[in-house]
């Protein structure tokens, strides 16, 4: 397995190492996931939604001062960080162009996002905004565990809505997706099989799988 993994990595990336920086734009969330510090029931959290100027400044630091070319922007599921906010902040980041101390041009070339599942119309807007990877973790494929850690009455409690978000993303024209689970919530062996089967289904239907 190690040799196979190395051969695939070598074929895809050669000796290149690709890094990206996270940019948390908001920690307001309507969900109350039992494992998450951002959950709505956490009264000790200090809630923030970055303004466009704050997002721009973060991008300037990440691109111009640190040298990153790729970001993953993270959004809480909340009306204050809806699709309009996401599209605006993505475009704000792409609009940052500046000179580094050495005089070279600095900008963010690829904006990946980690956001809640959306409908096809909203996902088309993400595509038009030029996002890279659309990332959504299923968290767990175990239905009983999923129901226990995602309380009823919240948006995230709908298992199938989340499960099929990547199908909607490909239908919307997004061609790069990222999936994952939170190991530790359920039997890791079941979770790995769930991820593999999910990826295989996307390849069967759309001809392309996820990260």
- Which residue has 């996820």 as its token pair? 210
pLDDT at 56: 96
Residue 19 pLDDT more than 90? no
- Which residue has 């996931």 as its token pair? 33
Residue 15 pLDDT more than 90? no
C-alpha to C-alpha distance for 146 and 158, rounded to whole angstroms: 9
Is residue 188 left, alpha or beta, with left meaning phi > 0 and alpha meaning psi from -120 to 50? alpha
Residue 103 pLDDT more than 80? no
pLDDT at 100: 75
If one compares 77 and 103, the residue with the highest pLDDT of the two is 77
- Rounded to 5, what percent of the chain is helix, strand, coil? 45, 15, 45
Name the CA radius of gyration of the chain, rounded: 18
Collapsing DSSP to helix, strand or coil, 74 comes out as: strand
Q: Is pTM, for the whole model, over 0.75?
A: yes
Percent of the chain with pLDDT over 70: 100
Structure tokens at 170: 């490909």
Q: Give per-residue pLDDT as tens, 185-200.
A: 999 999 999 999 999 9
Question: Is the separation of the CB atoms in 182 and 35 below 8 Å?
Answer: yes
Cβ within 8 Å of residue 95, ≥6 positions away: 56
C-alpha to C-alpha distance for 60 and 197, rounded to whole angstroms: 40
Residue 39 pLDDT more than 80? yes
Q: Give per-residue pLDDT as tens, 152-188.
A: 999 999 999 999 999 999 999 999 999 999 999 999 9
């Amino acid at each position: 397995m190690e040799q196979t993994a190395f051969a695939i990595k070598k074929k895809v990336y050669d000796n290149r190492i690709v890094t990206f920086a996270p940019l948390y734009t908001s920690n307001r969330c309507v969900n109350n996931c039992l494992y998450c510090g951002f959950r709505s029931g956490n009264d000790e959290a200090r809630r923030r939604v970055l303004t466009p100027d704050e997002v721009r400044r973060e991008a300037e630091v990440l691109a111009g001062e640190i040298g990153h070319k790729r970001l993953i922007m993270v959004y809480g599921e909340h009306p204050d960080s809806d699709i309009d906010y996401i599209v605006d902040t993505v475009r704000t980041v792409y609009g940052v162009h500046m000179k580094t101390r050495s005089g070279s041009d600095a900008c963010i070339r690829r904006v990946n996002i980690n956001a809640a599942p959306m409908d096809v119309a909203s996902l088309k807007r993400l595509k038009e905004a030029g996002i890279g990877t659309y990332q959504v973790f299923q968290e767990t494929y175990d239905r009983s565990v999923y129901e226990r850690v995602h309380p009823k009455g919240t948006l995230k409690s709908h298992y199938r809505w989340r499960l099929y978000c990547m199908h909607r993303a490909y239908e919307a024209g997004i061609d790069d997706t990222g999936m994952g689970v939170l190991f530790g919530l359920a039997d890791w062996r079941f979770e790995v099989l769930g991820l593999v089967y999910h990826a295989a289904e996307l390849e069967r239907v759309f001809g392309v799988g996820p990260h």
